[in-house]
Structure 1
Amino acid sequence: MASIPLERYQNELIDLFRTNRNEWNREPMENYMRNHFSFLGIKSPERKEFLKRFFVEYGKPERDWIKPLVTFLYTQPEREFHYAALAMIDVHIMKLDAEWLPFLEELISTNSWWDTVDHIAPHHVGAILLREKASIEDFPDRWVESENFWLQRSAILFQLKYKSKTDAEKLFSYIEATKGSREFFIQKAIGWALREYSKTAPAKVRSFINSTEDLAPLSRREGLKHLARRGMEV
């Protein structure tokens, strides 16, 4: 783990990224994200390599640093720092418990867009809730009723990596609760979750889709993609 003070650790990371900014890439990256965020122009492979080298030189973050470090990185205007913040959580995710869920809820609701939310929901929230299922009632069950559609999306997607461990009844209940949404990111999340689960339980997903009224065409189309590729009658 890191052997330098947190403040220096933060500043060294800021300097590393800003020193390697790429103006050639910046505008296309900002346009791709519909100009919701500023970018340094550091693409994902380079950013991951910089972080790898950073961890070699300065060590991985102490567990006690995660909240202040992530909070600090989330205050930076450039999106690459938000990605780096999530990578800091990745380091310790297997040791984090349900006490971290309020912090993750705050992150989902801060600087919100699909690129960060779609990492936090399955990789962070999902990892914790797989170990601590009792907390589902206090978080995704509540999120699915939220007016914040990023929290709703997170509820739909937190089981995305569960495969055979998916609670199908829970997933389908969330979809029933949100299927009337006109929000693109909810309709897309429903389709994505169904498509991913169909790789594990194709008949169950096909039955759900065919018996669910008022499922948005986008959700239905996305949900059936894998089944169609397998040649299953839909």
Structure 2
Amino acid sequence: MTAERPTLPTDITPETYVGHIRRALQPLADPAAAAQMRAYMRDQFPFLGIPTPARRRALRALPTVPWRDREWVAVAQLLWREPEREYRYAAADLLRKYAARFDATRIAPILALAQSEPWWDTVDSLAVTIGTVIARERKTDADAQACADAWLGHDSPWVRRVAMLHQLGWRLETDEARLFRYARTLAPETDFFIRKAIGWALRDYANWNPDAVSAFLAAHRYSLSALTLREAGRHLQA
């Protein structure tokens, strides 16, 4: 039988918990791997050089903390200040792990993280976390998705990408009309990551309602980009 992880004292703070994360990750740093990771990300960000499986194993070994939501967002905000990208990946993983506990008040600070040195590697995980929160809120608030509607016109393409992707994993709970409206709204954009996001969101829903997505693609094949059509139709029968 696997022994349970110890629980840290109840008076632990987000700052001290981030210290535990630093001590767990820093011994795993690999400068050679860090250089490769940085090159893969177009030399935009520094890295420790820790592959995802090793990073997640190290963090799983940390003691548990009896927090609900506010403290986890604070931990993520602190980790976002660290220069190396792995700390942001750790933050994104923690937010996804505890997303089901968050209420709507946590959406704004998480969306703010998505706008801090944004790239797909952090934005996409945060989009799923935000979507989890919205899905939970939607059970008691019919207007819970209205915030995502506003993001469609945001100046940042990464926030618009969050809007397009926030229903990933919702399966047949997806708001189909909203999904298709977002796709039509963003279709004129030339940004690679927006076009990719439209296709990805449609493909995800096609796993559960292929007929609806096929009909949408057929009706809008001249307004959607080739990239979007290719991504959306990847698993659909010709």
Instruction: Answer yes or no: is 1:203 the counterpart of 2:211.
Output: yes
- Residue aligning to 1:81: 87
What is the DSSP-based 3-state SS (H/G/I as helix, E as strand, rest coil) of the residue aligned with 1:225? Answer: coil
The root-mean-square deviation of aligned C-alpha atoms, in Å, is 1.5
Instruction: Answer yes or no: is 1:125 the counterpart of 2:130.
Output: yes
Contact 2:111 2:126 in 1 (8 A): no
What is the DSSP-based 3-state SS (H/G/I as helix, E as strand, rest coil) of the residue aligned with 1:31? Answer: helix
- Residue aligning to 1:146: 154
How far apart, in 1, do the equivalents of 2:132 and 2:108 lie? Answer: 15
- The TM-score with structure 1 as length reference comes to 0.90
How far apart, in 1, do the equivalents of 2:212 and 2:22 lie? Answer: 48
How many residues align? The count is 224
- Residue aligning to 1:111: 117
1:69–1:37 distance in 2 versus 1, CA, 3 Å: same
- The TM-score with structure 2 as length reference comes to 0.89
Q: Counterparts in 2 of 1:214-225, with a 5 A limit?
A: 214-225=223-234
- Residue aligning to 2:235: 226
How far apart, in 1, do the equivalents of 2:197 and 2:49 lie? Answer: 28
Q: Counterparts in 2 of 1:2-151, with a 5 A limit?
A: 2-3=8-9, 5-6=12-13, 7-54=15-62, 58-60=63-65, 62-63=67-68, 64-122=70-128, 124-133=129-138, 134-137=143-146, 139-151=147-159
Contact 2:73 2:106 in 1 (8 A): no
5+ residue gaps, structure 1, are none
Structure 1 window deviating more from structure 2 (44-53 vs 92-101): it is: 92-101
What is the DSSP-based 3-state SS (H/G/I as helix, E as strand, rest coil) of the residue aligned with 2:234? Answer: helix
Identity of aligned residues (%): 32
How far apart, in 2, do the equivalents of 1:105 and 1:22 lie? Answer: 31
Contact 1:60 1:91 in 2 (8 A): no
